[in-house]
Amino acid sequence: MTAPRTQAARRSRIADLLLERPIRSQGELRDVLAEEGFAVTQATVSRDLVDLGATKALDTDGQPHYVLRSEVGAEPVADPGRLARTIHELVVSAAHSGPMVVVRTPPGAAQYLASVIDRSGWEAILGTVAGDDTVLIVTAQSTAAPGVVEEILAMAEGRAVGPLGSAPEEEM
């Protein structure tokens, strides 16, 4: 994907990097950004981390690394169970046209669902746009849209799903 070298694009990439792998220092982050074409100073990286709400946390080996505060204590990124549970709870309907999928939710739920889908790592999906009760999903290939709809409907109905998840547990 091509992105402009703007502050918003840089901060978005920083957030993605913090979710993708452990970044242990501002210098390491600066080096990774430089490799991707973002020429930044240490002061800029520091300001970006503060503005993004990044903080340091210990990984499973006891080593410090940067995390987004919104992710501290949250479910892991690309958690297929989270995706399946969220779709099971929120999807009212799903349909496709060309490379686009339209998913309906109850009022107020679309942005949350879009965020879960965006963070799921679902390779067939380029991204989402959300309104109040509608999520527009753009697939990587127009031929992928029918399969995405099928997967979404399977998760919504609590059936076994394809590459991303498993059926949500039934409530007692």
28 domain residue, yes or no: yes
For residues 67 and 96, membership in a common domain is answered with no
Is residue 62 one of the residues assigned to a domain? yes
Residue 88 shares a structural domain with residue 120? yes
| Domain boundary pick from 71, 91, 122 | 71
Residue 33 domain flag: yes
Low-confidence ranges of the chain (pLDDT < 70): 1-3, 69-80, 160-172
Instruction: Report pLDDT for 162.
Output: 44
Q: Which of 71, 92, 121 represents a domain boundary (last residue)?
A: 71
pLDDT at 161: 56
Confidence at residue 12, expressed as pLDDT on a 0 to 100 scale: 86
Phi/psi class of residue 21: alpha, beta or left (left: φ > 0; alpha: ψ in -120 to 50)?
beta
Q: Please indicate, yes or no, whether residues 64 and 85 belong to a single structural domain of this protein.
A: no
Long-range contacts of 57-61, Cβ-Cβ distance < 8 Å, separation of 24 or more: 59/22
Task: Output the domain CATH number for residue 110.
Answer: 3.30.1360.40
Structural domain containing residue 111: 80-156
pLDDT of residue 5: 75
How many domains is the chain partitioned into structurally? 2
Sign of CA dihedral 155, 161, 165, 170: positive
In a domain, 56, yes or no: yes
- pLDDT (tens digit, 9 = 90+) per residue, 102-132? 999 998 888 888 888 887 888 899 999 999 8
Are 108 and 59 part of one and the same domain?
Answer: no
Choose the final residue of a domain: 49, 71, 93: 71
What is the pLDDT at residue 80? 62
Residue 24 lies in a domain: yes
Query: What pLDDT shows up at residue 132?
Result: 87
Q: What is the mean pLDDT of the chain?
A: 82
Question: For residue 128, what are the β-bridge partners?
Answer: 137
